[in-house]
Every structure is written in C-alpha cells, then in structure tokens.
Structure 1
Amino acid sequence: MAERVVPEPQRRRRRPTRQGTVLSERLIVETALRLVGQHGAEALTVRRLGAALGSDPSSIYRYFRNTDDLLLAITDELVGRAQQGWRPSGDWRADLREIGLRVHASYQAHPQAALLAAHRSTGRAHETAAVEAILGVLRSAGFPDGEAVRIYHAFVDQSLGFAALDAAALALPAPARAADELVWQSSYGRLDASTHPNIAATSRLLAADMRRSGYPFALELLLDAIAARLPRAADGG
C-alpha cells in the first residue's frame, strides 16, 4: 500500500458499498482483524480489504494512509478491547494484575494480529489511555515518577512479550502445536534419571505445566518484585 494522503474533508465516504454498508474506520479495522485471523499477515492488503468490504480498494485511503497506518489502528483496537469495562479499584496490585491479564487475553483472542501488533507503539487514543491508567496506578501507590516509569516499562514489556510468545504458539497449525506439546512427554518424559536427574524427577509436572501459558505466574513474580520495592520507593529511595 503506497503512501497517499487524502485531505481530511475528502476522507469520509457516505455512499454505501456494494454490500450496502457505509464505510468507517471501525468497520475497516474490524474487517482487517477478521481477515488477518483467517489468513494471516498476507491478508492485510488493500485489494483483499476492498473485496471483503464490497468497496473499491482505493476507498481505504480515505481512512488510512497505508497498511502500516491500518496496522497501528488494529494495534490500538486490541489495546482498547483490553480496557473495556476496567475501572481502578484503588488496590495497585489487583489493578495491575487485571490490566496485565486483560492485555494478554485481548492479544490471545487475535493471535495472528498479535504477531503483527504486540511490538508496536501507536500513540493513539486507546494506547494513550492505557499508559495514563498504568502510570496512575503506580503513582497513586506511592512510587516516585522515575520508579513508576521503570516499573511501567517492565510491566508492559512483560505482558506484550508473553502475548507475542503465546500468540505465536496459538497461530501454529494445529498439528504443529500438538507436536510441540507432545515433546514434553515423548522426549523429556523418557530421559533417564542417570543422565538427567532433574528432568526425570519433574517430567510429569513439566508436561502438565508447559501446556499452559507461563504469563499468570510470571506476572505474580513481577508483582512480588514491585511490592518489594514499594517501601523503599515510598521513602524516596
């Protein structure tokens, strides 16, 4: 999709498409999410979007400069879905836990899109609201600004890192995903205790645990680490 900026007054199409639908930024983003979910990154083209919308592909330029602009909108939509219905409780740990789990769940609901979006920064409305909310939780808890920013950085990178990792696994073809899970039984479960005593002792636990995302436990570990810094931070240390 080439760079092509349409002047703002001309950007909105009011006539219905061939399918009788009036185009909007939200409709295009939702359609793009559906196409990427069905066909992967290669579906993010003007031609395929136009076909799915029943509209001339060039009409997409009325809303997005190029496919990267559309991808940023998709990213912001995933962030926005994670925030729907969330309200701060005043308990910083519970609030951070819920935000992290919501972000992870939002990306897992769209694994193909998550692979494209988890590493992007948009500067758009939903992302800005999320940054404001997380920093607000941390500053209200008593962390000074420098510490709040460092914790924010670690917290967000952890949630998005796991979102991308788990999305990559979910995006695998079902046979490949099943084969990866079976490795923990078929390979690790058969290792001899004389050569691999630690794996042999824990192989059943490994096989069960590696089928699940490590994010919830990793999040608790991070929250523990944050809590350990709170008294020192609150004292200005």
Structure 2
Amino acid sequence: MRLVSAALCGAAMALTLAACGTGGKVSSSTDVQNGKALFQQKCAGCHALAAVGSTGGIGPNLDDSFAEARLEGYKESAIADIVAGQIRYPGQYATGSGLDRLQSNMPPNIVRGHEVDDVAAFVAANAGAQGFAEATAVTSLDGLTIFKAKCGSCHTIAAAGTTGTTGPNLDQLRPSFAAAKKQVTNGGSVMPAFKGVLTNAQIVSVAKYVSSHQRK
C-alpha cells in the first residue's frame, strides 16, 4: 500500500495534502482497531507509521506526511477522506522525459468497502501524531545528503545509490532546476511537499543536485 503522503502517501500535503486527491467522505461509523489490523496486514510493508512500529520505505512515511497537516490545523476527518481517496484512486505520476506516460505503484482498492474507511480512520488518528521522525531529520545543506535522506526511498538516482520506485526515476526524467525546485517545494501526485520540512536553502541544494548530477 503506497499512499502519500498524505499524505499519504512526510504528507500526504502544501504538503502532501494537496498531492493526494479525494475519494468521498469516510463514514462516521468506523472500526479503528480493525483498521489497525488491516494496516498491519496490507500497508505496513510499504509505509512507515510509528503507531504500529512499521518502517516500510517503499511508499511515503505517513508520520512525516501528515505531521505538517496537523500543524496546519487539518481535522482528522479531512485526513481520513484524503487517505480513503488515495486507497481507492492511487495517485499517478508522469514518467520519462516526454512526460507522456503515467504510472501508479500502489494497487487500487487494496482494501474495499467499509475496510477502506476503517484503515483511513486509523491512519488519520495516528499518522503524524508523534511529529516528524527524528531519525530522518536533516540539517545538512549538501544536496546529495538531503536527497538520500528525504528522496531516495522513492526515487532512483544511480549516482546517489538510491533505487526507490514510488516516484519517477530521476535518471530518466532529468528535470530542470526550476522543475525540481517547484516539485520539492509543493509536492504533487503522491509526493509530499517539503516546504516547511526543509529550509529554502536545503530545497535549493537538493533541486540543484537532482537537476545537475546526471549532466556531470
């Protein structure tokens, strides 16, 4: 299960909240404990969530994705709606230099029916509640260091030694500095926004790295 961030899919999100889309209202009658069990069975392998001790790195870290949303004052009901929408309609992203193909790495309807609401309610009640993960806090201004800490689990750059497949392969995409900076700042699709997570100087540094490494 690969959400984002947020937000689910750091997120969700200005933030991955904006990145994930919606999919209808979650019922007010949910079984959070069932949602927890389903998350552990279906989602924990791909997503990190402190509430269940999961450390999956294939999809977005849900604590990082939603911590900023909570700081911005988003209600649990809004987060639950975002999560449910992402489960039903996983975000897609453009791949290749021509941006003419779309891919989604999370299968749609990994849970169905009322189970969607249960999982969404569980994630909304717990994701980001413990704040940003200290283990992934970045203070460096080095673009490569920032990329490996915050981006490598989702993106491939051979020179950085990363092989993430949730987001586009950046060796193939070859984004410009302006495009990389905008994407890192605002997020999109299943990618969390890093505005407020990284400083402006860090965003510039990682965007420079992403846009220039393959041209060296």
Structure having the higher helix fraction is 1
Rg comparison, structure with higher value = 1
What's the TM-score once normalised by structure 1's chain length?
0.24
As a proportion of its length, which structure holds more strand? 2
Normalization by structure 2: what TM-score? Answer: 0.25
Compare relative contact order (CA 8 Å, sep 6+) and give the higher one, 1 or 2. 2
